Amino acid sequence: MKAFIFDLDGTLLDTLEDIGRACNAVLASHGHPAHPLAAYRRMVGNGFGRLVRSALPPAALRDLAPEALDALVDEARLWYGQHMRERTRPYDGMPEALAELARRGLTLAVLSNKPDDLTRTLVSHYFPQIPFADVRGGRSGTPLKPDPAAPRAMLAKLGLEAGQCFYVGDSDVDMLTARNAGMVSVGVAWGFRGLEEVRAAGARHLVTTPAQLPELI
């Protein structure tokens, strides 16, 4: 194997509290009830637009005009962008595991459904010493995971064959992404969704701590 490509939220970083606080702040400002932070574990992972739609009460979502919904998504994205480094942190042992993989000569990259600019900002802030070969979030005109378009574009840019790469993530979306693109899936136990979800989604490998990642080589 030549490379590890990582999901971001729930895999490299515990971003749940900042995401939940952003959505709840916008919900409250429009008179909608907030959610417990733990509820956002099931809402994240499919892009920011889907996140906001999932957080809205069904009746409010049904009644909103498309342009009003787009404005609400933009508002939540702005709030999150201003506060996304307040409670977020790398998972214990992740910086050390990434450094070890880099020391062994593995190509490292990040592929997320989070908006591209936010993905890049978080990765550069929390992992400044890690030599990621590419960092890519959700981009206009490219389908989000689990569609294979984005991972295939990344593989082409890096000059890698899919079968040479692990794709590491915490959700069924991530396991489907790996399968659809032909990469080897690695499900993590520490993320938002838990071991049972990634196992049921067909993870080829399961890890319970970041320290186990170098052992997969």
Q: How far is Cα 39 from Cα 21, in angstroms, rounded to an integer?
A: 12
Share of the chain residues as helix, strand and coil, in percent rounded to the nearest 5: 50, 15, 35
Whether 7 sits among the annotated catalytic residues: the reply is yes
Amino acid in position 101: L
166 to each of 65, 100, 121, 185, how far by Cα in Å? 41, 15, 23, 6
Amino acid in position 176: L
Q: Length of the chain, please?
A: 217
Q: How far is Cα 205 from Cα 198, in angstroms, rounded to an integer?
A: 9
Say which of 7, 14, 172, 174 is annotated catalytic.
7
Q: Where are the beta strands (DSSP E) in 70-133?
A: 89-90, 107-115
Active-site annotation, residues: 7
